[in-house]
Amino acid sequence: MTSDTETNTMSQDMVETQTETTTAPDAMTPSVTTIDEPSVQTVSDMPHRPAWVEIDLVRLGRNFQIINRDKPPGVQFLSVAKDDAYGHGAYQVLNIALAEGAAAVALSTLEEAVRLRERGIRAPILLLGQRQESELPWCIAHDLTCCVNDSHTAMKLARLAAAAGKRVPVHLKINTGMNRYGVGWNEALPLVEEICSTKSLLLEGVMSHFAQSDETDKTFARLQLERFNRFLRDLTGRRISVKYRHLCNSGGFLDVPQAHFDMVRLGIITFGVYPSSVCRRIPGIEAVMSVKARIAAFQKLQPGDHVGYGMRYTAPSPRRIAVLPVGYGDGFPRVRNLGFALIHGCRAPIVGGVAMDATTVDITEIPQAQVWDEAVLMGRQGNDEISVHDLARLKNTVSYDVLTGWRQRLPRVYLKSPQAP
């Protein structure tokens, strides 16, 4: 019995040959069937879907520059890039943030931090939240700065650092009223002293977090600031100084200048999105993310015809419908007969229910629309815009959730040069 495998003679940059052996009818002489090579090699060579998230890196860089001009010169900024930089792509965002002067980076999971280290991000990384003990050796090995909230974790970190022959920086989280992480503002001194008397730890920062900094009513923000200041006075009383005292997120940065201290932690504002409708505006800041799709098909409806699952739309008159190959499986809100897309700068109302992979829009009033024309689901087109906040209202949620809610199956397309208006 012989067995045979065809030798692949294709060029080196082709992918591995797939060779399939089938059994011949007499079961004695195997025959070999070769499946033809695809003409493309890897997923990255494939044409991307006609639906995508577009990230304008030029606008992102400009936002950082504008923020840098707006903030007092002595105040550093830390780029908050958790959840893949709010869906924008942490690696791409951080390369720009660091080039524009970010003093450090904040993330929330160990995995995202290690992945960024593996891709060559060498800047200081502050890991927000609470670490499990099993994560601490990884933090030390990858030079990640932990927020510490309790003595047990701090001392475990200290022992591991000492064993590794390192002195590791930590930022102590003070709970001033958010009541998630941190040690109470009026009971933190014993932990401060414990950290300061431990050789393998360096108290590099003390921090707190606003529960409500972007609303008109700043009563609670002022109370948190007052508590943080009381804690800082206690530190001064003990002659303890730290490099970074930080309390502000974007809302605090915009509206509570007394709380800027040494560093501000900026997330959403750097992406050109304001944390609320009432906080201070900085002229020139622009949204960095858009979501787009191309028209994949048309339908002509007669009066009485329906569209999509559940027949939720009935044409009152002859209508022309465009199908956009994007849906709630991509993170678009699961709405019915609500919202619109922009096509040729005009509003095309959504008709019927948004499905997992398809959204239908009425383009009767946009006769120039052609198949594969671009539609904007979030962002600007012509003189009109669908903002993150518009989608947040449709989804009954907040802008943060919309930005981070676009699924990974939507390719990210990065614009690196200025776009024509």
Ligand X SMILES: Cc1ncc(COP(=O)(O)O)c(C=O)c1O
User: Measured between alpha carbons, how far is 128 from 389 in angstroms, rounded to an integer?
Assistant: 26
Residue 251 C-beta: closest distance to ligand X, Å:
6
Closest CA to 416 of 61, 144, 38: 61
> Is 166 among the catalytic positions?
no
Helices (H), 319-410: 388-395, 399-405
Structure tokens at 100: 């524009």
Residue 356 C-beta: closest distance to ligand X, Å:
29
Q: Which stretch binds ligand X (CB under 6 A): 154-162, 184-192, 259-267, 336-344?
A: 259-267
Q: Which stretch binds ligand X (CB under 6 A): 60-68, 218-226, 246-254, 312-320?
A: 246-254
Written as one letter, the residue type at 328 is Y
| Sole binder of ligand X in the list 169, 182, 205, 267 (CB under 6 A) | 267
79 lies in the site for ligand X, by CB under 6 A: no
Residue 176 and residue 185 in contact, taking contact as beta carbons nearer than 8 Å:
yes
> Is 199 among the catalytic positions?
no
Given the complex with ligand X, which of 129 and 329 has the nearer CB atom?
129
Q: Which regions of 223-358 does DSSP assign to beta strands (E)?
A: 244-246, 263-266, 289-294, 297-301, 306-307, 313-314, 319-324, 340-343, 346-349
User: Measured between alpha carbons, how far is 273 from 285 in angstroms, rounded to an integer?
Assistant: 8
Residue 389 and residue 358 in contact, taking contact as beta carbons nearer than 8 Å:
no
At a CB cut-off of 8 Å and minimum separation 6, what does 152 contact?
none
Residue 231 and residue 185 in contact, taking contact as beta carbons nearer than 8 Å:
yes
User: Measured between alpha carbons, how far is 134 from 163 in angstroms, rounded to an integer?
Assistant: 15
Residue 235 C-beta: closest distance to ligand X, Å:
20
294 lies in the site for ligand X, by CB under 6 A: no
Given the complex with ligand X, which of 57 and 268 has the nearer CB atom?
268
88 lies in the site for ligand X, by CB under 6 A: no
266 lies in the site for ligand X, by CB under 6 A: yes
Residue nearest to ligand X (CB): 267
Q: Tokens 């907040």 — which residue? A: 398
Structure tokens at 370: 């052609």
| Sole binder of ligand X in the list 62, 131, 260, 265 (CB under 6 A) | 265
Instruction: Give whole-number Cα distances, 280 to 70, 132, 257, 265, 275, in Å.
Output: 12, 38, 11, 17, 10
Residue 231 C-beta: closest distance to ligand X, Å:
16
As a residue count, the chain comes to 421
Strand partners, 265: 78
Instruction: Give whole-number Cα distances, 368 to 118, 343, 376, in Å.
Output: 48, 10, 16
Q: Catalytic: which of 71, 82, 292, 395?
A: 82
C-alpha 23 chain-centroid distance: 51
71 lies in the site for ligand X, by CB under 6 A: no
| Sole binder of ligand X in the list 171, 209, 260, 395 (CB under 6 A) | 209
| Sole binder of ligand X in the list 92, 176, 200, 249 (CB under 6 A) | 249
Residue 77 C-beta: closest distance to ligand X, Å:
10
Residue 354 C-beta: closest distance to ligand X, Å:
27
At a CB cut-off of 8 Å and minimum separation 6, what does 26 contact?
none
| Sole binder of ligand X in the list 275, 331, 333, 405 (CB under 6 A) | 275
292 lies in the site for ligand X, by CB under 6 A: no
Strands 306-307 and 346-349: unpaired
Residue 249 C-beta: closest distance to ligand X, Å:
3
250 lies in the site for ligand X, by CB under 6 A: yes
288 lies in the site for ligand X, by CB under 6 A: no
Q: Which stretch binds ligand X (CB under 6 A): 54-62, 187-195, 265-273, 362-370?
A: 265-273
> How many chain residues bind ligand X (CB under 6 A)?
12
Q: Where does this chain bind ligand X (CB under 6 A)? A: 80, 128, 209, 249-251, 265-269, 275
Active site residue ranges: 82, 309
